[in-house]
Structure 1
Amino acid sequence: MVDLVTMSEYNEKKETCGTICLKYLLFTFNFFFWLAGLAVMAVGIWTLIQKSDYISLLPSNTYAATAYILVIAGAIVMITGILGCCATFKERKSLLKVYFILLLCIFILEVLAGILAYIYYQQCTPFCLQLNAELKQSLKQTMTTKYKQPGEEKVTNAVDKLQQEFKCCGSNNSEDWRDSIWINSPEAEKRLVPDSCCKTVTQRCGIRDHPSNIYKTEGGCITKLETFIRAHLLIIGAVGIGIACVQLFGMIFTCCLYRSLKSEPY
């Protein structure tokens, strides 16, 4: 009789220790998961703030939508992490169910987003072709018709920043500026290209379009901007797949903890 009682107490203690270990493992996972959500949301906010100039040059809202999706996804991940911590420490099976379902949904979405982003980058699907066509169609027109025009200060700043940061000149090449409304106006003061095309920016340096003075990048700013966007797609895909793989551990820990609480009250 004493042996049975001792064995029962040992099993109960062993189960309790296992549950405690699972709780701390899941809490640790949720902490890093919450940090990952914060990082994803920060990337989205950074994109909207720091790269908002480039967004104004794009013909569609695809890039902006991606940034907003990152912000929303990051917020959902953070909320899910907090819910996971509450479910873990309160040992509520109902909360663990909700937490597991949220993890599973986020996991599926991240895997799909990662795979699609990688396919778009690797195989240049119709989206890539559409992106390239959109840029070729609109960027030159935006540069030549809106640059330095009244009420288009945002576009002007975006073009200058684009040309300086990516070391390029014009949408396809520097010759595009010959069709510019501003370049052909007296306000240009005989400039052939904007000063932001110059390798060393000084006042009226754009009056000389020699390769030693301005950027003569092959493919112009279109190629640079497209490469920038595609690189971001690759990063988004890698981050999505990476976080999804980490989530597998969270789902495993959640299932184990749920099973260890099977005989406990809600």
Structure 2
Amino acid sequence: MKRVKEVEDDEVDGFECCTQWALLLFNLPLMLMGIALIILGVVGLTEHGYIADALQAENGGLFTGVMVLLIVVGALMMILAVIGCVAAFVESHTLLMIYYVSVLVAFLLIVIGMVLGYVYRGQLETTLRQELLDTMPSYDPEKPQDSITLAWDKTQGNLECCGVAKGEERPWKAWLTNQRLNSGQADSRVPESCCLATSNANGQRANCNDGNKVVESLVYQQDCFTGAAQFLETNMSTLTIVCIFFALTLMVAAALSISLYILID
């Protein structure tokens, strides 16, 4: 029959083993989620980068900031997951303490980021709308490869929108202030990317500019701010949900790491 001391040692070893495996398995979902966030951010920058170009104004960078933040959070989750797995596997006091401190710092940064994001989210409409309006005068139909021109053409074509609404005016009327499109008050032209796409397979668009006048029935009626804001809101909502999950996960990870640190002793 085992003595009481031997039974207690076996119980401690068993609890240590369970904690070790829990910390190992707990970090695997973090690593997978980190990879998913990095992919989401990279795809956003590469496939929807035209929105970032259309937002480049003096106070621009909102879109790029959201996408980069997705990548940074994903990379942080992967790094922490790797440190946690290695620390649990080798049962290293040093690595466990590094992991524990890193988890606490990451938790603090996540909380601060969520608070700032909540405050800034209320300013999204004003900031985003103004950034789009600021770049519209730089649109030049004679320079189709210019970054701003190309960005607006892709934004309007892909989001099926035209211009940005100002007050009660229709969104397409914001283009009337662009002197490269409309040289005088008698003109009311919009970029060709504002014209409705035809059913032709070659991607042709309807002629929505009849001379110097807009044929309103052939122009996209959606506000480009609405399309861009919906895209950003979706990604910001995803980021918020992930951050909440990440913060809760970090609390459990901190408890597991410090428990394993004590049990090793």
User: Shorter-chain TM-score: which interval?
Assistant: 0.7 to 0.9
Identity among equivalent pairs (%): 24
Cα RMSD for the two superposed structures:
2.7
Amino acid at match of 1:153: D
Amino acid at match of 2:221: K
Q: State the Cα distance separating 1:229 from its structure 2 match.
A: 2.8
- Cα distance in structure 1, aligned partners of 2:101 and 2:134: 48
Given candidates 52, 55, 58, the residue that maps to 1:55 is: 52
Structure 2 counterpart of 1:213: 218
* Structure 1 stretch displaced more, 34-43 or 18-27: 34-43
Amino acid at match of 2:97: K
- 2:196, 2:205 within 8 Å by CA — same for their partners in 1? no
Tell me, yes or no, if structure 1 residue 234 matches structure 2 residue 237: yes
SS in 1 for 2:3: helix
Structure 2 counterpart of 1:170: 163
Q: State the Cα distance separating 1:191 from its structure 2 match.
A: 9.1
Query: How many residue pairs were aligned?
Result: 246
Q: State the Cα distance separating 1:156 from its structure 2 match.
A: 2.5
Write 1 or 2 for the structure with the bigger share of helix: 1
1:90-132 deviation digits (Å, cap 9, x = unpaired): 11112111101111111111122223323433xx2xx436514
Q: State the Cα distance separating 1:260 from its structure 2 match.
A: 1.2
Given candidates 15, 40, 44, the residue that maps to 2:12 is: 15
- Cα distance in structure 2, aligned partners of 1:115 and 1:178: 39
Structure 1 counterpart of 2:124: 128
4+ runs deviating over 6 angstroms: none
TM-score normalised by L of structure 2 = 0.80
Please give the residue correspondences for 1:1-266 in structure 2 after superposition, counting only pairs within 5 Å.
6-58=3-55, 59=57, 60-121=60-121, 124=122, 127-128=123-124, 131-132=127-128, 135-136=129-130, 138-150=131-143, 152-172=145-165, 173-184=171-182, 192-201=189-198, 202-207=204-209, 209-217=214-222, 220-262=223-265
Q: State the Cα distance separating 1:258 from its structure 2 match.
A: 1.6
Runs of 5+ consecutive residues of structure 1 not aligned to the other structure: none
- Cα distance in structure 1, aligned partners of 2:79 and 2:238: 23
* Structure 1 stretch displaced more, 248-257 or 39-48: 39-48
- 2:176, 2:188 within 8 Å by CA — same for their partners in 1? no
Amino acid at match of 2:124: C
TM-score normalised by L of structure 1 = 0.80
1:218-257 deviation digits (Å, cap 9, x = unpaired): xx32343334334433332222112111222211211221
Q: Cα gap change, 1:204/1:194 in structure 2, threshold over 3 Å: closer, same or farther?
A: farther
- 2:50, 2:151 within 8 Å by CA — same for their partners in 1? yes
Amino acid at match of 2:261: Y
- 1:33, 1:78 within 8 Å by CA — same for their partners in 2? yes
Q: Cα gap change, 1:250/1:165 in structure 2, threshold over 3 Å: closer, same or farther?
A: same
SS in 2 for 1:150: coil
